[in-house]
Amino acid sequence: ASAAEPAEPPAAEERAEAVAARFRELYGAAPEGVWAAPGRVNLIGEHTDYNEGFVLPLALPHTVVAAVSRRTDGRLRLHSADTADTDGTDDTADTAGTAGTDGDGVRETTVAELAPPGGGLGWAAYPAGVVWALREAGHPVAGGADIHLASTVPTGAGLSSSAALEVVTALALDELHGLDLGRKRLALLAQRAENDFVGVPCGVMDQMASARATEGHALHLDTRDLGVRQIPFDAAAHGLRLLIVDTRVRHALGDGAYADRRAACERGARELGVRTLREVAYEGLAEALDRLADATVRSCVRHVVSDNERVRRVAALLTAGDIRAVGPVLTEGHASLRDDLRVSCPELDLAVTAATGAGALGARMTGGGFGGSAVVLVAEADADRVAAAVTEAFASAGHTAPRIFPAVPSPGARRLV
């Protein structure tokens, strides 16, 4: 899709009925309810969340919609309308884990037998992990559930398809069981599912973004106390557009490189004698770096502390209504992720240089890195030209054509029916 004809996915509200109808086909009765949770794109503040730092994501119009009913016999039945797995493999070919699969592709297990590691379950590990985390926290979910999911969040694109699966499951079960967990505990529980059941050591940004973002806003999140501030983000009102460039290079956080960066940051904090890098002030960065002997640790610390500062700057600019000035800060953030944290890849670097070279105000990779997507801030009038320049640059380099579409700040998780 070109930037001129935005590939907006159909709204979750419009998909609710079809998802409920498919649930009826699969399980023989109407669902008790239908919920939605969005993917996210992060504007700035990358690899800061597991250092108790700041992030600034916004929810996308791309969502996971879930039709759900409680059961009483302890069985957990899971179905996804999407053939591709969140890790890019075909779920019908995946036989790892304990869940059986029937002819309709329904995965069946019991709540009682859920146990980590659940990574082998593919996409089903995310909803199953949430049921496990609820059970572990002592919530009354032992009766089981029937769940049917349908997603428009691109998988492996760094847009939090996993967090959307987790949050939609958590919200549905929270409401059906009247648990009243609140969005903060819900996000933490979803993160626990991913950390301890799926086995990915992610921070809490993606789950909080999906659970707490609101339409028309970027979510300023302090990952230390999970305090949030909704900052108006209306690019169109300023004659601007925020584009996502999905490089189609599929990333996986579970492959060790993400955990390595996290370990380097934790080592930096230890060597500096602080609990987390959040405690290193930007003003004291040079002095802190002088005290670190290891070059890798030093550059990871420099990235985290300087990216926290960039979140502060971007939040201040947005609050002041100066969205254009955000552009260069994004590009600076990309250089830091590429050169200091070293989590970029050639395709992400090319998306950024091609976009800024063609006149974008700024661009950076977004999410965990090693593939996935970049965000580009561009004047409305230049959007098509910039998108074409990126597409051309990918073709010249022999890369798969990227998918380019606008990021419109959309509502967070909610009940539809």
**Does the annotation count 206 as an active-site position?**
yes
Among the candidate windows 41-49, 112-120, 123-131, 386-394, which touches ligand GAF by CB under 6 A? 41-49
Question: And the tokens for 398?
Answer: 């022999």
Select which of 87, 174, 206, 246 is catalytic: 206
**Hey, is 107 helix, strand or coil?**
strand
**Hey, is 55 helix, strand or coil?**
strand
The set of residues, in sequence order, having a beta carbon less than 8 Å from that of 60 and lying 6+ positions away, is: 38, 39, 40, 41, 153, 159, 244, 407, 408, 410
The nearest distance, CB 124 to ligand GAF, in angstroms, is 19
Sheet holding 75-80, edge to edge: 100-101, 107-110, 75-80, 144-151, 57-70, 33-42, 414-415
Among the candidate windows 30-38, 46-54, 149-157, 396-404, which touches ligand GAF by CB under 6 A? 46-54
The nearest distance, CB 277 to ligand GAF, in angstroms, is 13
The nearest distance, CB 184 to ligand GAF, in angstroms, is 16
15, 46, 402, 409: which one contacts ligand GAF (CB under 6 A)? 46
Q: Is the Cβ of residue 368 or residue 411 nearer to ligand GAF in the bound state?
A: 368
The nearest distance, CB 311 to ligand GAF, in angstroms, is 11
Among the candidate windows 43-51, 74-82, 208-216, 345-353, which touches ligand GAF by CB under 6 A? 43-51
177 DSSP 8-state letter: T
| Residue numbers belonging to the annotated binding site for ATP | 80, 156-162
88: Cα separation from own chain's centroid: 16
Among the candidate windows 4-12, 198-206, 265-273, 288-296, which touches ligand GAF by CB under 6 A? 198-206
**Binding residues with ligand GAF: total (CB under 6 A):** 11
Chain residues 202-221 in contact with ligand GAF, contact rule CB under 6 A: 202-203, 205-206
Q: Is the Cβ of residue 19 or residue 168 nearer to ligand GAF in the bound state?
A: 168
Chain residues 240-299 in contact with ligand GAF, contact rule CB under 6 A: 253
Cα Rg of the chain, angstroms: 21
**Hey, is 35 helix, strand or coil?**
strand
49, 94, 309, 340: which one contacts ligand GAF (CB under 6 A)? 49
Chain residues 318-377 in contact with ligand GAF, contact rule CB under 6 A: 367-368
Return d(Cα 373, Cα 360) in angstroms, integer. Answer: 16
Q: Is the Cβ of residue 245 or residue 416 nearer to ligand GAF in the bound state?
A: 245
Return d(Cα 93, Cα 95) in angstroms, integer. Answer: 6
Q: Is the Cβ of residue 22 or residue 183 nearer to ligand GAF in the bound state?
A: 183
Instruction: Report which of 57, 58, 37, 167 is spatially closest to residue 408, judged by C-alpha positions.
Output: 58
Kindly state whether residue 47 participates in binding ligand GAF, applying the rule CB under 6 A: yes
| Residue numbers belonging to the annotated binding site for Mg(2+) | 162, 194
The nearest distance, CB 193 to ligand GAF, in angstroms, is 12
Return d(Cα 96, Cα 119) in angstroms, integer. Answer: 9
Sheet holding 362-366, edge to edge: 362-366, 373-379, 240-246, 403-406
Q: Is the Cβ of residue 241 or residue 251 nearer to ligand GAF in the bound state?
A: 251
Question: Which string of DSSP letters, residue by residue, matches 59-94?
Answer: EEEEEEEEEEEE-SSSEEEEEES-SB-TTSSBGGG-
Q: Strands 107-110 and 100-101, how do they pair?
A: antiparallel
Which residues make up the interface to ligand GAF (CB under 6 A)? 46-47, 49-50, 202-203, 205-206, 253, 367-368
Positions marked catalytic: 206
